[in-house]
Amino acid sequence: MTYQFSRVSKHIIRSEIRELLKWSRNPGVISFGGGLPDPALFPIQDIIELTREVLEKKGYLALQYGPTQGEQEMLEALVHHMSEYGDEASIEQVCVTSSSQQGIDLLSLLFLDEGAPIIMEIPSYLGAVQAYRRCGADMHGIPLDEDGMDIGYLRTTLDKMKEKGEKPRFIYTVPDFQNPSGITLSLERREELVKIAHENEIPLVEDSPYRELSFTGKVLPSLWTISGGKGVIMMKTFSKILFPGMRMGWLVAEESITDKIIMLKQSVDLCTPSFNQLILAEYIKRGKMKKTIEKAIQCYKPKCAAMLRALDQHMPDEATWSEPSGGMFLWLKLPERIDTKEIFKMAVEHQIAYVIGHPFHCDESGSNTMRLNFSFPSLEQIESGIKRLAGMIKEVLQK
Ligand SMILES: Cc1ncc(COP(=O)(O)O)c(C=O)c1O
């Protein structure tokens, strides 16, 4: 049979990272690869008890189809959760999603056509790069420095696009403890970004899975809040602050946009499982999520510090890295001549794995970079793994 595939399917490519990370499953390999939460934080007992309770009291709802926008209890819990981090939203502005990857997908469906220009960070979240590439979007990258997106570069890019009669459909950014770099957009730049977006009437897509995981106790105002909820679509998820297994997230936007998203979601999956929503709504209402987030911070903060300490102690001078104050990742740069994909096999022989940086770059650059995850490995693994990684990099640099 000769199949006739869609135009979208032509843009699908096999993930290099997935192929490489297969090696990291070898026994004895210390992996800094995935973006996984520490499973020791999973509230298994609470979820067992809440599952029983929800089934006993509301089984008739939990096992039924639900509203596409989300269960009322969940929407209320989400609005309350956001307000604890300074973000005010009305229930009408919220739509529950099957995690934020679905948010990215729904926004792609809403805004993108083949060749549509968009703006994103370099490097940026791989799952977004893949989703936008799949749509055939024309991705324009803006480099990051230690304060986040380079706003001067953004202005120049927008000017150049204007000259060509182009306007980005949106600017996609991960302002807090970015995946993959761990970098946070400074307050000054947040304000500038919102101003530029408003002046040019470009929507901002604020992807915000790590916002709650601040090691300093401080969170900067979100783009959503700075803009007064105008022209910003914020995506959130339980995957990093709680667990990814229920595939639960949400987005907030102006009501007219949320409305369109709800209509699109209807054709995608009808609704996010009511079962999961009722369990998590109860979990949030009882104040348990806040405690889990506090525990996550207590767990990840020393792991991040241990990774930074080990890098300081063992890495050669030619390597540089970001110093995150939250989240799950840091970003390592090697001299341009080193290709982190080429040396990956050697890393696995040294019993360590990382994520190669190149696929996070929409402009095909970044072959000398890698992402290191500190949330999943233990403190001991971080210390010995970074020592091994540094030893290997020294060997490579001497060649
Ligand atoms: C920036 C960012 N957005 C979205 C996601 C997708 O997460 P999920 O679909 O599990 O919510 C991730 C996962 O790593 C991420 O880092």
Please list the pLDDT of the chain residue by residue as tens digits (399 residues).
999 998 888 888 777 777 777 777 778 899 999 899 999 999 999 999 999 999 999 999 999 999 999 999 999 999 999 999 999 999 999 999 999 999 999 999 999 999 999 999 999 999 999 999 999 999 999 999 999 999 999 999 999 999 999 999 999 999 999 999 999 999 999 999 999 999 999 999 999 999 999 999 999 999 999 999 999 999 999 999 999 999 999 999 999 999 999 999 999 999 999 999 999 999 999 999 999 999 999 999 999 999 999 999 999 999 999 999 999 999 999 999 999 999 999 999 999 999 999 999 999 899 999 999 999 999 999 999 999 999 999 999 998
Residues whose CB falls within 8 Å of the CB of residue 162, separated by 6 or more in sequence, listed in order? none
Which protein residue has the closest C-alpha to ligand 1 atom 10?
239
Tell me the best of 176, 213, 239 to mutate to test the pocket of ligand 1, counting ligand atoms within 8 Å of each CB and taking the most.
239
**CB-ligand 1 contact for 98 (6 Å cutoff):** no
Q: How far is Cα 347 from Cα 395, in angstroms, rounded to an integer?
A: 11
Residue nearest to atom 13 of ligand 1 (CA): 35
Cα atoms in the 13 Å half-sphere on the side-chain side of 290 = 11
Distance 281 CA to ligand 1 centre (A): 20
Name the residue at shortest CA distance from atom 9 of ligand 1: 101
Distance 319 CA to ligand 1 centre (A): 27
Of 18, 95, 98, 179, which is best to mutate to test ligand 1, by the most ligand atoms within 8 angstroms of its C-beta? 179
Tell me, yes or no, if the pTM score tops 0.85: yes
The answer to whether the CB of 99 is under 6 A from ligand 1 is yes
Compute, in angstroms, the gap from residue 399 CA to the centroid of ligand 1: 37
327 lines ligand 1 (CB under 6 A): no
Separation of CA 3 and ligand 1 centre (Å) = 32
* Ligand 1 atom nearest to 239, measured from its CA: 10
Q: Which atom of ligand 1 is nearest to the CA of 237?
A: 11
Q: Which atom of ligand 1 is nearest to the CA of 238?
A: 11
57 CA distance to ligand 1 middle (Å): 32
385: CA distance to ligand 1 center in Å? 25
Q: Among 98, 106, 125, which is best to mutate for testing ligand 1, by the most ligand atoms less than 8 A from CB?
A: 125
242 CA distance to ligand 1 centroid (A)?
13
The residue among 200, 198, 182 whose CA lies nearest residue 190 is: 198
CB 124 less than 6 A from any atom of ligand 1: no
Burial of 164 per CB tally in 10 Å (0-12, 13-18, 19+):
exposed
Question: Using a 6 Å cutoff on CB, does residue 34 contact ligand 1?
Answer: no
**Distance from the alpha carbon of residue 125 to the mean position of ligand 1, in angstroms:** 8
The minimum-distance atom of ligand 1 relative to the CA of 174 is: 1
Verify whether ligand 1 is closer than 6 Å to residue 239 (CB atom).
yes
Give the atom of ligand 1 at the shortest distance from the alpha carbon of 125.
Answer: 1
Assess whether the C-beta atom of 175 lies below 6 angstroms from ligand 1: no
